[in-house]
Amino acid sequence: MNAVKKTEKSLRKTISFRCYAELNDFLPFERKQRNFTLSLKTPVTVAEVIELLGIPLSEVDLVMVNSQPVERSHRLLKNDYVSIYPTFETFDISSLKTTQKQPLRITRFILDAHLGKLARYLRMLGFDTLYKNDYGDLEIIEIAKEQKRIILSRDKLLLKSPRVNHGYYVRATEKHNQLIEVAAKFELYSQFKSFTRCMTCNTVLLSKSKETIRKLIDPDIYGCFDEFFFCPVCNKVFWRGSHFERMEGLILSIISNKSK
């Protein structure tokens, strides 16, 4: 009997953990916002430990072991230090995910009725952004929860709802400044995919060969540009004209603001 116990004990390894931001909501008091150690039977994977901690895997964005990003199937070793980050941590972790086949974090937004111009700008930068000027508060909260979207709002009452997990009160009132503020708050810079999404309806634009859009646009424009994009919902063709250049100037000003 003692021998069995000894064998079991020898398979246990001490591993250190720290969970960040709202992942602490799933932890008992003594493990919240601090480092803690567990003596775990090995072999054990990252995914198994996250479940053991009572954290739903869907809430986890990034796991780092000894400062290196790892897959969920990664096996933990004695004295490892494991950092677990949630989906909506606001600092930029996307560049760290070199081992992931595709980024786990997809930053999506839903905006309230006051932020229509900001919605267009976020779409311009390629962010999946829902906006309607007649969304009700409950509707916004439900969609945000279901689709894991961050709520951006100028309505403090909406954001005070206990059902809002991921909301942010946009301070700036002018659209350029709002975009600069949101890009800085969520450190969006590495996720820019400018001019890939329709600013009007949020649909991802399709790249079209010149020949296929010949009948849809003015011959002068057809002659001046080689690259065209198409929104299948709005049925509109886009090209890199003067509007595009102004937008590019705006994007550059956001990026230069980052280094200030």
- Residue 49 found at the interface with Zn ion (CB under 5 A): no
Q: What span, in angstroms and rounded, lies between the C-alpha atoms of 108 and 127?
A: 6
Q: Which stretch binds Zn ion (CB under 5 A): 148-156, 178-186, 214-222, 225-233?
A: 225-233
Distance in Å from the first CA to the final CA of the chain: 66
Q: Decide: residue 239, CB within 10 A, 0-12 exposed, 13-18 middle, 19+ buried.
A: middle
The yes or no reply on residue 204 touching Zn ion (CB under 5 A) is no
For residues 202 and 145, what is the distance between their CA atoms, to the nearest angstrom? 19
Cβ–Cβ under 8 Å, residues 13 and 42: yes
Burial 145-168 (b: 16+ CB within 10 A, else e): eeebbbbbbbbeebbeeeebbbbb
Stretch that binds Zn ion, among 171-179, 228-236, 239-247, 250-258 (CB under 5 A): 228-236
Binding test (CB under 5 A) with Zn ion, winner from 11, 201, 206, 216: 201
Report the residue number, 234 or 250, with the smaller CB distance to Zn ion: 234
Structure tokens belonging to residue 104: 């786990």
Return the DSSP state at 193: -
User: By CB under 5 A, is residue 52 in contact with Zn ion?
Assistant: no
Side chain identity, residue 5: K
Decide whether 88 or 127 has the Cβ nearer to Zn ion.
Answer: 127
Contacting Zn ion (CB under 5 A), which of 11, 57, 233, 255? 233
Q: Give yes or no for residue 234 binding Zn ion (CB under 5 A).
A: yes
254 binds Zn ion (CB under 5 A): no
Token output for 102: 């595709």
Interface size with Zn ion, residues (CB under 5 A): 7
Q: Is 231 in the site for Zn ion (CB under 5 A)?
A: yes
Question: In terms of Cα–Cα distance, which of 159, 155, 151, 145 is closest to 182?
Answer: 151
Residue 57 contacts Zn ion per CB under 5 A: no
From candidates 33, 190, 194, 200, binder to Zn ion by CB under 5 A = 200
Residue 202: CB minimum distance to Zn ion, A:
7
Site for Zn ion in 131-150 (CB under 5 A): none
CB-nearer residue toward Zn ion: 179 or 231: 231
Q: Minimum CB separation from Zn ion for residue 200, in Å?
A: 5
- Sort 3 into a burial class: Cβ within 10 Å, 0-12 / 13-18 / 19+: exposed
15 binds Zn ion (CB under 5 A): no
The yes or no reply on residue 199 touching Zn ion (CB under 5 A) is no
Count of Cβ atoms closer than 10 Å to residue 223 Cβ: 8
- By CB under 5 A, residue 35 contacts Zn ion: no
Residues that bind Zn ion (CB under 5 A): 198, 200-201, 203, 231, 233-234
